[in-house]
Structure 1
Amino acid sequence: MPSGTSVRHPLAGLTRDFHRIGPLDRPIEPWMCAELDQHAAQVCEGITASGGELNARTLGTYLHGFLDGCLERGWDSEAVEYDWETLRVLAICRLAKDRGFVR
């Protein structure tokens, strides 16, 4: 099987969806690049600090838990253009693409 995540994997689906609305395939503004880098570093640290290894499974599990928490708090991705939660999800998607977890 080629490297990358199956299109059925939550990371692949969400990355595809956010790719349409987010700046993942074109140059981005410096402020956003810094924000996404900071979010990605925090995600990596959170996964590895708990003894996990950063891979498609652990990143997908993190994403699932993060989105569950957002939904429990009533977050709506269409309510604000680039709120904290949207930036975190974009950072996860970008991290998944950069690490080759999704195609």
Structure 2
Amino acid sequence: MPRGTSVRHPLAGLTRDFHKIGPLDAPVPPWMSAELDQHAAQVCEGIVSGGAELTANTLGTYLHGFLDGCLERGWDSEDASYDWETLRILAICRLAKDRGFVR
């Protein structure tokens, strides 16, 4: 079986869902690529600066905390196109795929 997170892992499910609205495997416009790279770097820095290693679990925990914060602020993914929150989530999903945490 290939390495990666189980399809039942929340990170895998969200990555699959967000793949429908964002180009996780395909080339992206330069502006979006730069945004996703910047978000991914900030996410990695946030995780490792606290002394943790970047793993599927730490990335999943980060993602859950981020989503909780979004929902507390009233963010609704149905109302947004490529807003800051959506780009951050896409960057996390892309990072998970690039690191082999999800298939």
TM range (shorter): over 0.9
- The 3-state SS of whatever aligns with 1:80 is coil
Structure 1, unmatched stretches of 5+, are: none
TM alignment of 1:20-35, pairs within 5 A: 20-35=20-35
1:58 aligns with 2:58: yes
For structure 1, which segment, 71-80 or 35-44, has the greater mean C-alpha deviation from structure 2 after superposition? 71-80
Q: Please report the TM-score for the alignment, with normalisation by the length of structure 2.
A: 0.97
Deviation at 1:50, TM superposition (A): 0.5
The residue that corresponds to 2:96 in the other structure is 96
Matched position secondary structure for 2:35:
helix
Q: Quick one: distance in 2 between partners of 1:59 and 1:25?
A: 19
The correspondence of residues 1-103 of structure 1 with structure 2, limited to 5 A, is: 2-103=2-103
- How many Å apart are 1:80 and its aligned residue? 1.9
Letter in 1 for 2:55: N
Which amino acid letter does the alignment assign opposite residue 24 of structure 1? L
CA RMSD of aligned residues (A): 0.8
Q: Compute the displacement of 1:2 (Å).
A: 3.4
Q: What CA deviation, in whole Å up to 9, does each residue of 1:44-88 have, x standing for no partner?
A: 000000010000000000000000000011100121210000000
Alignment coverage as a number of residue pairs: 103
Measured in 2, the distance between the counterparts of 1:92 and 1:86 equals 10
Q: Counterparts of 2:32 and 2:2 in 1: how far apart (Å)?
A: 31
Structure 1 runs of 4+ aligned residues shifted over 6 Å read: none
Cα distance in 1, alignment partners of residues 30 and 102 from structure 2: 24
Give the whole-Å Cα distance in 2 for the aligned partners of 1:74 and 1:2. Answer: 38
Matched AA of 2:44: C
